[in-house]
Amino acid sequence: MDAISAIMTAIISGAVASAKPTTEKVISDLYGGLKTLIQRKYSGVSLEAVEKKPDSPAQKAALQEVLQDANADKDNELLQQAQALLKAISKQAPEVAQAIGIKLEEVKAANVRLQEIIVSGEKAAGVHIKHGEFSGDIEISKVKVEASGKK
């Protein structure tokens, strides 16, 4: 996962997890730390809209654009905080984290070829395509999904 994707995933997952009344304190604390770090280093970045609508593609895209414009993907401190939050979520609130091998949203392409995708985890998904427009062939092969669930 590239740096901006890790940061975005941490923000979205942290916002979702923090909104739940049963969220572990460690997750709330790490998400609070991530928000404070973003506010301190990137005063032009607001998380409010994505916190209100964490499933909104428009809100996520806007936040990602602002973070990319601010070169947040080159900020090692921010990336470390995001990774610590993601690790805590995967251990304490795995229902929030969804492992996705390939995620394509609002893609327009002639042809798509996806091969050898391996992903595992609770609620794992090998390929996620949303609002895609393809004029030619779509070829998806060798997808291995290992969804682990608590029994």
3 state DSSP class of 11? helix
Which of 92, 111, 135 terminates a domain? The answer is 92
Per-residue model confidence as pLDDT tens digits over 140-150: 877 777 655 54
The predicted structure's pLDDT at residue 150? 46
Q: How far apart are CA 48 and CA 148, in angstroms?
A: 33
Checking phi first, is residue 106 left (phi over 0); if not, alpha (psi -120 to 50) or beta? left
What range does the domain containing 120 cover? Answer: 100-146
Average pLDDT, the chain: 79
Number of domains in the chain: 2
Examine residue 122 and state whether it is found in any structural domain, yes or no. yes
Task: Indicate whether 107 belongs to any domain.
Answer: yes
Confidence of residue 3 (pLDDT cuts 50, 70, 90): confident
Same domain, 110 and 140: yes
Do 66 and 31 lie in a common domain? yes
* DSSP 8-state code for residue 45: -
State whether 85 and 106 are in the same domain: no
Residue 16 domain flag: yes
